């Protein structure tokens, strides 16, 4: 059966937010899991199992001001997504300019985006955030795989 | 650890760059730990820096190029790149993230830290030259060579170096925030330099020495290791003084170690360290030993939960 290609939707629009939530909630498919060691996914699965925090992922220079994709986790399930801004309340607020998001959606390694601090943490405890860092990195990768039309 | 003879200590301490090729990496690692119990002050470390500074452009990679293409097997090359790529990026990372730490602390500390920033920049150039001239990574600029080698960087390095980047941002809000400085120093001086860097040095330099390969890399990275002795001793002095001045800082060290040890071992790829003469268990023991030596020598105690995490350290450099 041929692969179904998702149509691109408006970046930081409500449909994109829901697709992003579904993508991070679904986690990696079997083909993607094959590309990395089982112990790596095991580490992520272990973090995710009880995860109950929220992330606000922001783009700082959209027309009209900053906007955030807020993803809320409860017992390992990503149960809610909303687009909000310019104010946001989440356990961890990370944001960057559109250029960073463009690079991310174009395939830049999300681990490197984090390692080079291209998304800055403006709110939230750094040490607590990093205890789930690879779970976050792979979730960011899932968000980046959702086709989107950028401004 | 064996006690260093005065002759060996003198050789490590005072060798010019050309003589460093004759020094055994184990002697340099002993040299790193020799002063941990009494810990030199920042002025002594700065004076030592002025004596030991070396010119990265004096390194000759001619024989390395031949060894890389004619002497080493593909598996050896793959393993070598996989384990050293982390520090190609790591040296850049500590170079750009250290200036914010220099903004706080005593004037002596600031002067000393200026030398460490220069060290880290020089180490970045060392890896840039090695990857460009020997490994033949493509790229016209430092950034482009970094871009070329990132595909080889293991999550082992992404976690701690990413943590350091975000801690640096935390510190930027108030460079005099002692708790933030201690958390940053634990990641940088204790884990990245005291455990990860020294382990990578031991693994790759032992391989070079045992096989008689890559004399330019051996010379430059052994000189780098001697620089790390100053960094580790200065860093351990900072952590020891911070805890002596305010015992509550021990909690900051512990919390940081909990995070570092929680993300330890989550690596997505396997590195065939056996090609470099190491087993995962040997790497595991090496890392635990490197960590315990620092903690013991400067008197940082660990609660039982962190002791247990240390016992479960994964041989992350080996990829699981």
Where in chain B does DSSP place strands (E)?
A: none
The two structure tokens encoding residue B270: 């396997």
Answer for the pair B235, B262: CB distance below 8 angstroms, yes or no: no
Best mutation site among A34, A119, A126, A128 for testing chain B: the one with the most B CBs within 10 Å?
A: A126
| pLDDT the model gives residue A4 | 55
| pLDDT the model gives residue B319 | 38
Task: Give the residue on A whose Cα is nearest the Cα of B149.
Answer: A112
**Rounded CA Rg of chain A:** 15
Answer for the pair B225, B205: CB distance below 8 angstroms, yes or no: yes
B119: closest CA of chain A, how far (Å): 20
Query: Is the N-terminal amide bond of A86 cis, ω within 30° of 0?
Result: yes
Asked if the C-beta of B177 comes within 8 angstroms of chain A's C-beta atoms, the answer is no
Give the residue among B256, B261, B312 at the shortest CA–CA distance from B284.
B312
| pLDDT the model gives residue B36 | 81
Asked if the C-beta of B158 comes within 8 angstroms of chain A's C-beta atoms, the answer is yes
| pLDDT the model gives residue B296 | 87
Asked if the C-beta of B186 comes within 8 angstroms of chain A's C-beta atoms, the answer is no
Q: Which residues contact B46 (CB under 8 A, 6 or more apart)?
A: B108, B111, B112, B115
Asked if the C-beta of B277 comes within 8 angstroms of chain A's C-beta atoms, the answer is no
Burial class (CB in 10 A: 0-12, 13-18, 19+), B305: exposed
Q: What residue ranges do the domains of chain A occupy?
A: 9-145
CATH 3.30.1050.10 holds for A9-145: yes
CA dist., res. B80 & res. B207, Å (int): 9
* Full DSSP string of B227-271: HHHHHHHHHHHHHHHHHHH-TTHHHHHHHHHHHHHHHTT--SS--
Which of A43, A112, A127 is the closest to B255 by Cβ?
A127
Answer for the pair A94, A132: CB distance below 8 angstroms, yes or no: no
Asked if the C-beta of A124 comes within 8 angstroms of chain B's C-beta atoms, the answer is no
Answer for the pair A134, B266: CB distance below 8 angstroms, yes or no: yes
B196: closest CA of chain A, how far (Å): 16
Asked if the C-beta of A59 comes within 8 angstroms of chain B's C-beta atoms, the answer is no
* Low-confidence residues in chain B, pLDDT < 70: 1-3, 314-320
Which of A40, A109, A114 is the closest to B266 by Cβ?
A40
Burial class (CB in 10 A: 0-12, 13-18, 19+), B136: exposed
| pLDDT the model gives residue B3 | 59
The two structure tokens encoding residue B21: 């090729």
Which of B93, B170, B258 is the closest to A126 by Cβ?
B170
Give the residue among B243, B318, B262 at the shortest CA–CA distance from B285.
B318
* Low-confidence residues in chain A, pLDDT < 70: 1-5
**A134 and B269: CB-CB below 8 Å?**
no
| pLDDT the model gives residue A102 | 96
Asked if the C-beta of A106 comes within 8 angstroms of chain B's C-beta atoms, the answer is no
Which of B150, B267, B320 is the closest to A112 by Cβ?
B150
A5: closest CA of chain B, how far (Å): 27
């Amino acid at each position: 059966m041929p692969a179904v290609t998702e149509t691109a939707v408006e970046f930081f629009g409500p449909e994109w937010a829901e697709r992003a939530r579904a993508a991070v909630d679904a986690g990696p498919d079997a083909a993607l899991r094959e590309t990395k060691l089982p112990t790596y996914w095991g580490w992520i699965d272990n973090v995710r199992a009880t995860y109950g925090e929220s992330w606000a992922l922001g783009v700082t220079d959209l027309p009209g001001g900053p906007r955030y994709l807020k993803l809320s986790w409860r017992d390992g399930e990503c149960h809610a997504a909303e687009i909000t801004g310019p104010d946001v309340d989440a356990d961890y607020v990370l944001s960057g300019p559109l250029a960073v998001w463009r690079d991310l959606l174009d395939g830049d390694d999300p681990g490197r985006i984090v390692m080079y601090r291209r998304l800055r943490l403006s709110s939230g405890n750094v040490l607590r955030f990093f205890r789930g860092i690879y779970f976050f990195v792979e979730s960011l990768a899932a968000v980046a795989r959702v086709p989107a039309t950028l401004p | 650890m064996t006690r260093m003879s005065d002759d060996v200590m003198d050789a490590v301490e005072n060798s010019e760059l050309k003589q460093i090729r004759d020094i055994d990496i184990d002697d340099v690692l002993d040299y790193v730990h020799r002063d941990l119990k009494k810990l030199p002050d920042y002025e002594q470390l700065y004076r030592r820096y002025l004596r030991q500074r070396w010119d990265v452009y004096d390194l000759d990679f001619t024989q390395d190029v031949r060894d890389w293409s004619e002497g080493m097997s593909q598996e050896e090359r793959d393993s070598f790149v996989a384990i050293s790529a982390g520090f190609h990026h790591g040296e850049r990372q500590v170079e750009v993230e250290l200036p914010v730490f220099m903004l706080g602390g005593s004037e002596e500390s600031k002067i000393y830290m200026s030398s460490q920033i220069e060290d880290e920049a020089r180490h970045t150039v060392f890896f840039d030259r090695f990857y460009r001239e020997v490994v033949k990574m493509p790229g016209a600029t430092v950034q482009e060579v970094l871009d070329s080698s990132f595909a080889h960087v293991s999550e082992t390095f992404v976690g701690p170096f990413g943590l350091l980047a975000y801690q640096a941002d935390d510190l930027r809000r108030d460079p005099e925030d002692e708790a933030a400085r201690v958390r940053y120093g634990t990641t940088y001086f204790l884990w990245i330099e005291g455990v990860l860097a020294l382990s990578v040095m031991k693994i790759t330099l032992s391989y070079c020495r045992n096989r008689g390969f890559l004399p330019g890399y051996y010379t430059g990275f052994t000189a780098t290791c001697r620089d790390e002795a100053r960094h580790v001793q200065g860093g351990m002095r900072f952590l020891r003084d911070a805890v002596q001045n305010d015992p509550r800082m021990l909690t900051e060290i512990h919390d940081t170690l909990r995070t570092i040890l929680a993300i330890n071992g989550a690596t997505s790829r396997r590195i065939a360290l056996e090609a470099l003469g190491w087993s995962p268990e040997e790497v595991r023991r090496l890392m635990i030993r490197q960590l315990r030596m620092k903690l013991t020598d400067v008197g940082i105690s660990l609660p039982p939960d962190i002791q247990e995490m240390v016992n479960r350290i994964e041989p992350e450099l080996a990829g699981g």
